[in-house]
């Protein structure tokens, strides 16, 4: 059965979940939302671990095959440091990791939970044992940050998701640029949450880090659909221009993966699939995701199927009626050619 017949692009590992709190070498409440990378030939997960106070930290788990036989650090790998970084007073959450070849280090973008709300923070590591914190990169309330592995016209780029306190305001994915990965500017919306009954209406956010393909930067994002009784987290894809990541080439209309199994539908937060990491293994992409904010699971899809799918998606960023409304309200053109900007 092909993915088109099955209805979901990514297929679950049959023995999910692959990591639970019962696997942990020390006391914890839940394990979920891992970043992922291939390091020294092994799959490395930087797992969010929530303790019995309700605060989160990160712990590394390594596997030769990325499925089982996990070797888990015997104690937290990276813990909050509120004395030196007060924005981490309520914990650190949801990491995304990107290898930066130019500096020979991994960039770990994560959410620091401050007493003013969540915000993006950044740290660097060469070995996932010692970490060099940059600290907060943007003010709250903001989440779901990840950096690109290369510069664009001399500038680093980061995706993130600010949230306004204004009633009825949407949560969109933004892109920002920096000369040094500390001071960020040139902020603008990259992907708009849609209107109405769409699966990704009103609130979207980046899932794993951007991944480079021959056809463009592939990003996966989550959309939150709120009904009268619950919210469900589902996943979609978008493709960005390789030279200008401000330019969206294609975007999912339907979701490609959503909560279906009991371990995804029942937990600390019901109806959630939330990947913070993916890796390329041979001819497939594996996503590692938090299932119901309780455990870690894995799903995969062939690269060829992903690229075939994304090229069949519309070359639009949002529904026509929303773009037209946005243009009228803001006095802006929705001509896609206007988005092809030369980065300064």
Can you give the residue ranges of every domain in the chain? 17-330
Q: What is the pLDDT of residues 158-178, one digit of tens each?
A: 999 999 877 777 899 999 999
CB atoms within 10 A of CB 301: 21
The fold adopted by the segment(s) 17-330 is Tachylectin-2; Chain A (2.115.10)
The pairing of beta strand 248-251 with beta strand 273-281:
unpaired
Q: CB-based burial of residue 92 (10 Å sphere; 0-12 exposed, 13-18 middle, 19+ buried)?
A: buried
Q: What is the pLDDT of residue 202?
A: 85
Element spanning 142, H or E: strand 142-147
Determine the average pLDDT of the residues in 309-333: 58
Q: What is the pLDDT of residues 253-290, one digit of tens each?
A: 999 999 999 999 999 999 999 999 999 999 999 999 99
Q: What is the mean pLDDT of the chain?
A: 90
* Alpha-carbon gap, residue 317 to 213, rounded angstroms: 20
The torsion defined by the Cα of 156, 129, 133 and 190, in degrees rounded to 10, comes to 40
Q: What is the pLDDT of residue 295?
A: 98
Q: Which residues contact 105 (CB under 8 A, 6 or more apart)?
A: 99, 124, 125, 126
Enter the DSSP assignment of 88: G
Q: What is the pLDDT of residues 176-218, one digit of tens each?
A: 999 999 999 999 999 999 988 899 998 999 999 999 999 999 9
Determine the average pLDDT of the residues in 23-34: 98
Determine the average pLDDT of the residues in 17-46: 98
**Angle at the Cα of 162 from the Cα atoms of 112 and 49, rounded to 5 degrees:** 30
pTM for the full predicted model: 0.90
> Is 1 a residue whose pLDDT tops 90?
no
Element spanning 280, H or E: strand 273-281
Cα dist. 103→41, 125, 177, 179 in Å?
Answer: 20, 10, 17, 14
Cα dist. 307→171, 243, 282, 284, 319 in Å?
Answer: 27, 18, 15, 11, 22
* Alpha-carbon gap, residue 223 to 252, rounded angstroms: 11
């Amino acid at each position: 059965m092909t993915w088109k017949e099955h209805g979901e692009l990514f297929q679950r590992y049959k023995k999910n979940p692959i990591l639970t709190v019962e696997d942990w070498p020390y006391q914890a409440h839940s394990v979920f939302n891992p970043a992922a990378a291939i390091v020294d030939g092994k799959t490395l997960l930087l797992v969010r671990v929530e303790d019995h106070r309700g605060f989160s930290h990160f712990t590394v788990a390594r596997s030769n095959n990325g499925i089982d036989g996990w070797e888990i650090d015997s104690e937290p790998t990276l813990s909050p440091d509120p004395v030196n970084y007060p924005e981490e007073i309520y914990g650190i959450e949801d990491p995304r990791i990107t290898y930066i070849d130019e500096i020979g280090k991994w960039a770990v973008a994560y959410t620091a939970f401050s007493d003013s709300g969540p915000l993006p923070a950044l740290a660097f590591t060469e070995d996932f044992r010692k970490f060099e914190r940059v600290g907060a990169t943007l003010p709250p309330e903001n989440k779901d940050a990840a950096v690109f592995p290369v510069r664009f016209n001399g500038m680093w780029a980061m995706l993130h998701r600010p949230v306004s306190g204004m009633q009825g305001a949407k949560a969109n994915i933004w892109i920002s640029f920096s000369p040094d990965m500390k001071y960020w500017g040139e902020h603008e919306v990259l992907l708009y949450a849609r209107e109405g009954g769409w699966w990704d209406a009103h609130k979207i956010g980046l899932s794993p880090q951007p991944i480079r393909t021959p056809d463009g930067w592939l990003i996966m994002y989550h959309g939150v659909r709120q009904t009268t009784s619950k919210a469900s987290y589902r996943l979609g894809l978008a493709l960005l221009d390789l030279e200008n990541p401000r330019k969206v080439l294609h975007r999912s209309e339907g979701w490609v993966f959503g909560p279906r199994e009991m371990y995804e539908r029942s937990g600390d937060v019901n109806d959630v699939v939330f990947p913070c990491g993916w890796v390329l293994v041979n001819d497939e992409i594996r996503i590692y995701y938090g299932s119901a904010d309780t455990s870690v699971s894995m799903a995969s899809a062939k690269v060829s199927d992903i690229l075939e799918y994304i090229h069949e998606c519309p070359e639009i960023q949002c529904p026509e009626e929303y773009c037209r409304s946005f243009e009228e309200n803001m006095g802006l053109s929705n001509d896609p050619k206007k988005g092809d900007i030369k980065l300064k």
